[in-house]
């Protein structure tokens, strides 16, 4: 081992979407990596997620784009409809015109499917070691590396530490110490149906978003069309914390009961909802300390209204691997270069996601203004509005 820890692996805390893609991106550049995951197995729960063209640009750089697209569903358009009147607010085509503008597709997939692609890439790379059942309690940085303590007391030594431990990151707690995440007051209920459980007249190949006062409801197919994803979001201050817990159907009906029959009929199909209390944080610009940095939700947790959390984590991973490759003997400089390349982009997504949430949930005059702002846009005008996000990084 050299004085700067070069013989040791990079330690990645958290084997979610961000941790695994970071591990693979680093291994491809020839760096050994150990991923420490608290769960007994590397597995992803949850439901569908949308993937903008920017994630595919990043994935092409690590050779995973085509694999991810195998099980993903290619919607033909994004549609926003008024949840009370049924009126079409706007339609954004996602086919040839979209591809011509952005060069990469828009797709929807199951969180488990993207996680599986990343996990398979890691499992088949000889430089990646996956350690389940490894909950990280603490760490200490020295001049030539980092020591991690697991809950059980075991110590793991590495060259540097990348905290990919999500919204409630312990690693962030030590290097930024900005307290608990901000509870937004927005709640998401999610469910996935089999294709045959969706009534024929309600099944739709596109991403449909029903925008209502303080609510929205989204649905789209998943996994080559074999599944159907439903997400119902509403405002409630009843909850302060909760992730993937069972949702209360009565609360759902209080918010969606008077909406369009298509929405009500679709919601009636669900027996069990899973609930997420949606949280984010204020953007920060300094999420690295020496040989320790953060990635994904640990660095910049965001609301889901721009559908970008997994996309941003994937972009982070590619940038991080590039910066480490550029200065492997000066990891603090590499980590600083990585955060400097990322914080304005991720901060913009964090802030704009809040704005989009208000936009989706508008009522009264604000909803009318939304209609007038969006209804007559050409597809190219709509694409230009998303250029800052989909053209990057």
Ligand X SMILES: Cc1cc2nc3c(=O)[nH]c(=O)nc-3n(C[C@H](O)[C@H](O)[C@H](O)COP(=O)(O)OP(=O)(O)OC[C@H]3O[C@@H](n4cnc5c(N)ncnc54)[C@H](O)[C@@H]3O)c2cc1C
Contacts with ligand X by CB under 6 A lie at 13-19, 36-39, 49-50, 135-136, 164-167, 170, 188, 190, 276, 296-298, 304, 307-311, 313
Please, what is the minimum distance in Å from the beta carbon of residue 382 to ligand X? 18
Please, what is the minimum distance in Å from the beta carbon of residue 85 to ligand X? 26
Q: By Cβ distance, which residue is nearest to ligand X? A: 309
Q: Which is nearer to ligand X, 36 or 128 (CB)?
A: 36
Q: Which is nearer to ligand X, 221 or 309 (CB)?
A: 309
Please, what is the minimum distance in Å from the beta carbon of residue 351 to ligand X? 16
Q: Which is nearer to ligand X, 51 or 371 (CB)?
A: 51
Residue 338 tokens, joined: 């990585």
Residue 102 tokens, joined: 């952005």
Buried b (16+ CB within 10 A) or exposed e, 357-381: bebbbbeeeebeebbeebeeeebee
Q: Which is nearer to ligand X, 25 or 371 (CB)?
A: 25
Q: Which is nearer to ligand X, 58 or 371 (CB)?
A: 58
C-alpha distances in Å from residue 89, one per residue of 208, 210, 369: 11, 9, 11
What distance in Å separates the CA atoms of residue 250 and residue 346, rounded to the nearest whole number?
36
Beta bridge partners of 131: 36
Please, what is the minimum distance in Å from the beta carbon of residue 298 to ligand X? 6
Please, what is the minimum distance in Å from the beta carbon of residue 330 to ligand X? 25
* Percentages of the chain per state (helix, strand, coil), in multiples of 5: 40, 25, 35
Beta bridge partners of 218: 209, 231
Please, what is the minimum distance in Å from the beta carbon of residue 2 to ligand X? 27
The answer to whether 278 and 309 have CB atoms below 8 angstroms apart is: no
Q: Which is nearer to ligand X, 222 or 371 (CB)?
A: 222
C-alpha distances in Å from residue 242, one per residue of 100, 154, 186, 187: 41, 29, 12, 9
């Amino acid at each position: 081992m050299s004085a700067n820890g070069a013989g040791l692996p990079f330690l990645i805390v958290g084997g979610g979407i961000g941790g695994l893609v970071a591990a693979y991106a680093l291994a491809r550049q020839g760096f050994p990596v150990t991923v420490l995951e608290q769960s007994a197995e590397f597995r992803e729960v949850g439901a569908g997620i949308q993937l903008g063209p920017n994630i595919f640009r990043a994935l092409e750089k690590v050779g995973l784009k085509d694999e991810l697209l195998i099980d993903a569903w290619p919607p033909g358009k994004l549609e926003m409809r008024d949840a009370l009147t049924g009126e079409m607010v706007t339609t954004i085509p996602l086919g040839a015109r979209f591809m011509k503008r952005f060069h990469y597709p828009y797709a929807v997939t199951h969180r488990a499917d993207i996680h599986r692609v990343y996990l398979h890439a890691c499992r088949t790379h000889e430089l990646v070691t996956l350690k389940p059942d490894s909950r990280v309690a603490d760490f200490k940085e020295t001049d030539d590396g980092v020591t991690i303590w697991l809950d059980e007391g075991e110590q793991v030594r590495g060259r540097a530490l990348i905290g990919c431990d999500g919204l409630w990151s312990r690693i962030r707690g030590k290097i930024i110490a900005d307290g608990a995440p901000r509870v937004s007051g927005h709640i998401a209920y999610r469910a996935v149906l089999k294709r045959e459980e969706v009534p024929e007249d309600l099944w739709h190949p596109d991403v449909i978003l029903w925008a209502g006062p303080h609510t929205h409801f989204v649905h789209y197919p998943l996994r080559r069309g074999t599944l159907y994803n439903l997400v119902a979001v509403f405002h409630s201050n009843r909850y302060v914390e909760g992730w993937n817990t069972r949702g209360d159907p009565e609360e759902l009906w209080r918010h969606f009961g008077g909406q369009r029959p298509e929405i009500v009929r679709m919601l009636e199909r669900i027996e069990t909802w899973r609930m997420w209390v949606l949280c984010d944080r204020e953007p920060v610009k300094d999420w690295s300390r020496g040989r320790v940095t953060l990635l994904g939700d640990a660095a910049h947790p965001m609301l889901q209204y721009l559908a970008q959390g997994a996309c941003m984590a994937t972009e982070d991973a590619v940038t991080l691997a590039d910066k480490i490759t550029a200065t492997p003997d000066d990891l603090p400089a590499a980590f600083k270069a990585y955060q400097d390349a990322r914080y304005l982009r991720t901060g913009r997504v964090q802030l704009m996601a809040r704005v989009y949430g208000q936009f989706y949930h508008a009522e009264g005059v604000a909803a009318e203004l939304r209609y007038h702002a969006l209804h007559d846009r050409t597809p190219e005008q709509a694409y230009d509005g998303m250029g800052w996000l989909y053209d990057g990084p």
